[in-house]
Structure 1
């Protein structure tokens, strides 16, 4: 039986409020563990799929700027 990691991550954070989601993201980043990267990727996918083109553009600009520092 295969584990669907994407669905498991979404299930684990579904129903969380903004503070809980922020804590999840901050903890994953501050922890710096490779195992949290898939979870952050799933949250990024959720954002991207629900963002309008302007929000997507803002995200891309922010990432581009952050990578050039």
Structure 2
């Protein structure tokens, strides 16, 4: 029986306010700990699933530019 990390993260962040989400993102980036990456990935997945095509394109452009 495997551990559902995505489900655990979703349960942990469910109902978070905008301020909570921002604090989570900033904390993860500032700490730079590898263990925070799955949580950021789940937040990105939530964003992606709720974004329209233009938002997705803009996000991909921003990420691509940031990788230059």
Both structures adopt the same fold (TM-score exceeding 0.5): yes
> In the alignment, which residue of structure 1 is the partner of 2:5?
5
Offset from partner CA, 1:10-52 (integer Å, 9 cap, x none): 1111111000000001100110000100110111111111110
Distance across 2 between alignment mates of 1:16 and 1:28? 16
Q: After superposition, where does 1:15-30 map in structure 2 within 5 Å?
A: 15-30=15-30
Q: Which runs of 5+ in 2 are unaligned?
A: none
Q: Which runs of 5+ in 1 are unaligned?
A: none
Q: Secondary structure at the match of 2:48?
A: helix
Matched, 1:53 2:53: yes
Q: Report the aligned-residue RMSD.
A: 0.7
> In the alignment, which residue of structure 2 is the partner of 1:66?
66
Give TM-score scaled by structure 2 length: 0.95
Equivalenced residue count is 68
Give TM-score scaled by structure 1 length: 0.94
Q: Which runs of 4+ in 1 moved over 3 A?
A: none
